[in-house]
A and B are shown apart, each in its own frame.
Chain A
Amino acid sequence: MTIFLDLAGSLIVRASMVTVMLGLTVTMNNALFETTQQTNAAATVATVGEIMYTDLNQTIANGVLASNPTMMQFKADTSMGGGNKATITYTATLDGTSGLYNLTRKVGSKTTTISNNLVSVQFQYVDTDGHATTTPSEVDGIRVKLVAQVSGVTQGFSTTLNDFKVFPPNLN
């Protein structure tokens, strides 16, 4: 009888060990997955921000052509002072299927989607006195707010934000 009790106890102990290790592995794996997804989303939205920031900084004098909350168009010196000018358009459109925004960058006639997982996109504009404006000729600074979804993460930090302001040095 004792031997059966010993066997049962041993099995219970081993099963507990396996359960603890499996539980630990699952927990650590989830933590690693979420952290990786958050880091990837943050890096991606930062790259999108860098592209926009660089473009906006090249805006030429009186170069803002359209200044809407989800669309902006401006003329930029894409050769960084070399004289080659191009019209750049950023447009955010809501995808009805995914419920997320697609952000496109159009340079001349070529359009590229630079992000397709944005929960919200906001372009805000200020004049030389710092007041909000939507009149292109009055724009002196642009605030861009991009909120990206962290894929596969439903609770906690499920979004990541990139909020930056650009005051193009050659605009006014």
Chain B
Amino acid sequence: MGSKALLFGAISLIVGVYAISLKNVQVTGMQTAQSHVNRVQKERLVDAALSLALDDVQKNGSSSKTVTGRHALGGTIDYTVIHETGTTAEIDITVNVGGNGNGRVVVAQVEQAKKKSGFRKVHRGDWRVLSVFVKKG
């Protein structure tokens, strides 16, 4: 009886220790995947924000304005249009996912010009994004 208890105890201990270790490794793997998912979601949110802001500029002109608290794709979008000339503007965008305050700030230069845009180029009417950069935080 004592031998059986010892055997089951030892096996339980071995299986338990390795199960915890395996779980920790899998959590690390999940975190790697999750960071990729977060990046993709923020990028989609930035694209959505650019579309929203450019839509605004196309409909209402490039006069300076600030819009806050727009919701899209499970995140929050704030943007400021800084009027430069009648055909160019700078758009500062802040996107937040999950409300953790860990936002991504993007600065885009936009222009009104009739040009063929690339595959990922965001455009609305004649307005298109000339350049877009994630601001160093």
Contact = CB atoms under 8 A, between A and B. Distances in A.
Interface of A: 13-14, 17, 20-21, 24-25, 28-29, 31-32, 35-36, 38-39, 42-43, 46, 50, 57-58, 60-61, 77, 79-82, 126, 128, 130, 140-141, 167-172
Given A35-B25, A43-B28, A81-B133, A17 B3 contact: yes
Contacts of B15: 24, 28
B6 interface: yes
Contacts, number: 89
Given A20-B11, A81-B107, A32 B136 contact: no
B14 A21 contact: yes
Contacts of A82: 136
A13 B32 contact: no
B7 A17 contact: yes
Instruction: Determine which residue in A14, A36, A130, A169 has the highest number of CB atoms from chain B within 10 A of its CB, and name it.
Output: A169
B132 interface: yes
A99 to B, nearest CB: 26
28 contacts: A14-B3, A17-B10, A20-B7, A20-B11, A21-B10, A24-B15, A28-B14, A29-B18, A32-B25, A36-B25, A39-B26, A39-B28, A39-B32, A42-B32, A43-B28, A46-B35, A46-B36, A58-B133, A80-B133, A81-B107, A81-B131, A81-B133, A128-B119, A140-B120, A141-B119, A167-B119, A172-B117, A172-B118
